[in-house]
Amino acid sequence: MDWESSLIKNLQWSADIINISGKQKVAAQIAEKVTDGDTLGIGSGSTVYLALIAIAERIKTEKLNVKGIPTSIEISMFCAKLGIPLTTLFENKPDWLFDGADEVDTNKSLIKGRGGAAFKEKLLISSCPKNYIIVDESKLVTRLGTNFPIPIEVFPQALLYVEQQLKKLGANSIVVRPAKGKDGPIISENDNLILDCRFDEVGSSLEKDIKAITGVIESGLFIGYPLEILVAGNN
């Protein structure tokens, strides 16, 4: 089995994925939006992977000149494997972006960052005039924080101070995200810690209030960004 088929098979088996066919349709819609000369912001998540496979196919068959700006090393490696040329925010401005999300509320506010890349994801979404967020129905919530905590990337030496300040903002649970398969905390691509936080209430100023704490690099809370939400249906 080739590795793209193997990836799709693994996605099908993942407990997270409730509707692979719906995701493939949305991935195809994203790939259709690509035009020659585009610089794409590339987020993360299962539908992003599917969209990249479809985009790589178009690049190959239509000989499109397309570049991507990735939000993580993992996505960079996947693009390299697919032959999608990459660039950086130093050299290019993204024309549009596609990304996943962990929760989306009725105001199109998001929680992101389950993969630990919220800082780069927010940097790219902020730099982009047009952002497509791809989710399945399981991500739609009436209240942010229903299923996922808010990830907050923190400069390690600031941990105790930041924890103290987050409690003042109404954090009722703060967990330093553990490393996978070994002792100790996970270290982000920017050499920081990630705190997974739950709040009594997620108000409209919470994103700014969290960001104002010295030592916070960024949070996975996205309130008031220009986003178009694409929902993958059940068929």
112 binds ligand 5RP (CB under 6 A): yes
- Contact between 45 and ligand 5RP per CB under 6 A: yes
Question: Does residue number 44 form part of the binding site for ligand 5RP (CB under 6 A)?
Answer: yes
Shorter beta-carbon distance to ligand 5RP: residue 24 or 47: 47
Judged on CB neighbours under 10 Å (0-12, 13-18, 19+), 37 is: exposed
* Segment interacting with ligand 5RP, rule: CB under 6 A, options 61-69, 94-102, 122-130, 194-202: 94-102
Judged by CB under 6 A, does residue 117 bind ligand 5RP? yes
CA gap 121, 127 in Å, rounded: 10
Between 51 and 213, CB nearer to ligand 5RP: 51
201 touches ligand 5RP (CB under 6 A): no
Cα-based distances in Å from 210 to 49, 195, 202, 203, 217: 30, 12, 11, 11, 9
Provide the residue type at 223 as one letter: I
- Taking CB under 6 A as the criterion, the residue among 22, 94, 113, 145 binding ligand 5RP is 113
C-beta atoms surrounding 42 within 10 Å: 25
Our CA angle for 204, 150, 232, nearest 5°, is 90
**218 near ligand 5RP, judged by CB under 6 A:** no
Cβ-based nearer residue to ligand 5RP, 78 or 165: 78
**The one among 24, 46, 109, 192 contacting ligand 5RP by CB under 6 A:** 46
In the beta sheet, which residues pair with residue 132?
Answer: 98, 228
Q: Does 43 bind ligand 5RP (CB under 6 A)?
A: yes
Residue 100 sits in the site that holds ligand 5RP (CB under 6 A): yes
2 sits in the region (left: phi over 0; alpha: psi -120 to 50; else beta) called beta
Q: Which of 13, 233, 24 is nearest to 136 (CA)?
A: 233
Among 99, 105, 153, 218, binds ligand 5RP (CB under 6 A): 99
Rounded CA-CA distance 33/211 in Å is 33
Using CB under 6 A as the binding criterion, the count of chain residues that bind ligand 5RP stands at 17
Q: How far is the CB of 220 from ligand 5RP (least distance, A)?
A: 7
Residues designated as active site: 121
Q: Which is nearer to ligand 5RP, 64 or 141 (CB)?
A: 141
Question: Strands of 150-154's sheet, edge to edge?
Answer: 171-176, 193-199, 150-154, 216-219
Q: Where along the sequence are the contacts to ligand 5RP (CB under 6 A)?
A: 16, 43-47, 99-102, 112-115, 117-118, 121
